[in-house]
């Protein structure tokens, strides 16, 4: 993350903590509240989603808290958005995405649209972020919608 964005994990945690809307859990804390279906959440996004995580989810394998929390969303029929960014994709990746899509998971590849004429990398990131938020039921104005001029 730091290599690609210039932000370290501590920077992100500090910024999110300022909102008061974050609970930090260890990746192996399988007893964290989010690991249970009785812990109510509206949805979850995994951004970016590695092909390893996608493979685990497609096959019902929970190796850590991330896998488990996402698996809970699937089993409880809650909104789950996965943003793979790997390319090229092999047949196994595509089959895993198909299995998850059939379970109601939204797959949103990190492939920005160009109809909105992005002028910067931020515009392209905002396009994907806006799409993820919309699939989670959150309106936003991060990108120009089709037909907006």
CB contact at 8 A, 87 and 45: no
User: Greatest CA separation found in the chain?
Assistant: 49
Q: What per-residue confidence (pLDDT) applies to 147?
A: 75
Mean pLDDT (the chain) is: 93
Q: What per-residue confidence (pLDDT) applies to 149?
A: 60
pLDDT, mean of each 10-residue run, the chain (149 residues): 85 80 87 96 96 98 98 98 95 98 98 91 95 96 82
Instruction: Say if pTM beats, i.e. exceeds, 0.75.
Output: yes
Q: What per-residue confidence (pLDDT) applies to 78?
A: 98
Q: What per-residue confidence (pLDDT) applies to 45?
A: 97
Q: What per-residue confidence (pLDDT) applies to 148?
A: 73
Contacts for 9 with CB less than 8 Å, ≥ 6 apart: 1, 2
pLDDT, tens digit (0-9, with 9 covering 90-100), for 28-66: 999 999 999 999 999 999 999 999 999 999 999 999 999
Domains defined for the chain, CATH in brackets: 2-111 (3.40.50.1950)
Question: In angstroms, what CA-CA distances link 16 with 11, 27, 39, 86, 129?
Answer: 9, 18, 21, 26, 16
- Mapped onto helix, strand or coil, the DSSP state of residue 56 is helix
């Amino acid at each position: 993350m730091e290599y690609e964005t210039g932000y370290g994990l501590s920077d992100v945690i500090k910024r999110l903590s300022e909102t008061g809307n974050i609970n930090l859990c260890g990746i192996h804390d399988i007893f964290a509240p989010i690991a249970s279906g009785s812990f109510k959440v509206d949805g979850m996004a995994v951004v970016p989603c590695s092909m390893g995580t996608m493979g685990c989810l497609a096959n019902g394998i929970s190796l850590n808290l991330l896998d488990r929390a996402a698996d809970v969303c699937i089993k409880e029929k809650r909104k789950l958005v996965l943003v793979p960014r790997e390319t090229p994709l092999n047949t196994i990746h595509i089959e895993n995405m198909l299995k998850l899509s059939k379970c109601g998971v939204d797959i949103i590849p990190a492939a920005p649209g160009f109809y909105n004429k992005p002028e910067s990398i931020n515009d392209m990131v905002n396009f994907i972020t806006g799409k993820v938020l919309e699939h989670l039921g959150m309106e936003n104005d991060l990108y120009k919608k089709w037909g907006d001029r």
